[in-house]
Amino acid sequence: MSPSRPPTPSPVASALVPGLFVLIWSTGFIVARGSVPHADPLVFTALRFSSVALILGLIALAVGARFPAGWTGWRGPLVAGFLMQGVYLSATFVAISHGLPAGIAALVGSLQPLLTASLAGPLLGERVSRRRAAGIAVGFLGAALVLVPKLGATDAAGIPPGALAVSLGSVVALTLGTLWQKRTGGGGDLLASAVLQFLGGTACAVPLALAFGGPRFDAVGPLWFSLGWAILVNSVAGVLLFLFLIRRGAVAGVAALFFLVPPVSAALGYLLFGETLTLVQIAGMAVAAAGVAVANRG
């Protein structure tokens, strides 16, 4: 059974979807910040991944998504999901729970293309052009402008060194997962691949929660709202919007949308939690985004 072709969206919907996607993706870091007072971060991510894998799996079966026929086809997205979903997001939630501002976590996550471009040469044999090398350097310079001035500071805008180290480690896992996906091939049914990636994330998050998670889980309204938002909006709706944009053929445009996530996350962090950035940090965020953009086009 072949999947049915989705209806052609209206011009208004096509114009609104990219902005909606950025907003939804940016709320992932806000959800982490909002869940901190009420639940252990590892327990939260374990519940999130297992629920998303189940819901996306049911959607995939309903629309006739084509899953790989053998273990070789399953292994690639499972390993990628283990690293890109399980390790990356679990570590990000842990870092935010230990005081890393949501906007800073989003910025650190946005460095993944720079690390990928840096490692693609030695690991995958890809040539790094001068333009890409310049973009990598500019991107890391911008990140340094954001991170260094407030590293270890004790005010509200301070960046705890331990939490930052965990966040940087999470981006290494995200980068390795991306390189693994590039090496094993990212073809096939995109929805089926998303299901397998969340299964891989579940295979990481559940053992982490059982081994290192705490019993803290306050069954209060804000926590249920955060968990429901993380599952249904940030993950399920976010993934479906991502697939919609990819199927429109706007791959480069989708990549460019991720440059907007750190500033939007920082703005939401300020409005909801009073997280602030200095003018130097705001400028650094813009420089980092420009460097990522140049590196992606190099």
pLDDT means per 10 residues, the chain with 298 residues, are 47 69 89 92 96 96 91 90 94 94 88 78 71 82 84 74 94 89 75 94 96 92 94 92 71 64 87 85 86 72
Element (H, E) at 187: none
pTM: 0.83
Q: Which of 92, 57, 87, 89 is nearest to 204 (CA)?
A: 87
pLDDT digits (tens, 9 = 90+) for 211-237: 999 989 998 999 999 999 999 999 999
* The CA-based dihedral angle spanning residues 72, 75, 77, 78, taken in that order and rounded to the nearest 10 degrees: 160
- Backbone phi, then psi, for 131, in 5-degree steps? -65, -45
What DSSP designation does 69 have? Answer: S
- Backbone phi, then psi, for 215, in 5-degree steps? -80, -5
Contact (CB, 8 A) for 284 and 139: no
The pLDDT value given to residue 186: 60
Residues 6+ positions from 233 with CB-CB distance below 8 Å: 24, 27
pLDDT digits (tens, 9 = 90+) for 36-59: 899 999 999 999 999 999 999 999
The pLDDT value given to residue 155: 66
Tell which phi-psi region holds residue 189, choosing left (phi > 0), alpha (psi between -120 and 50) or beta: beta
Which residue type is seen at 37?
P
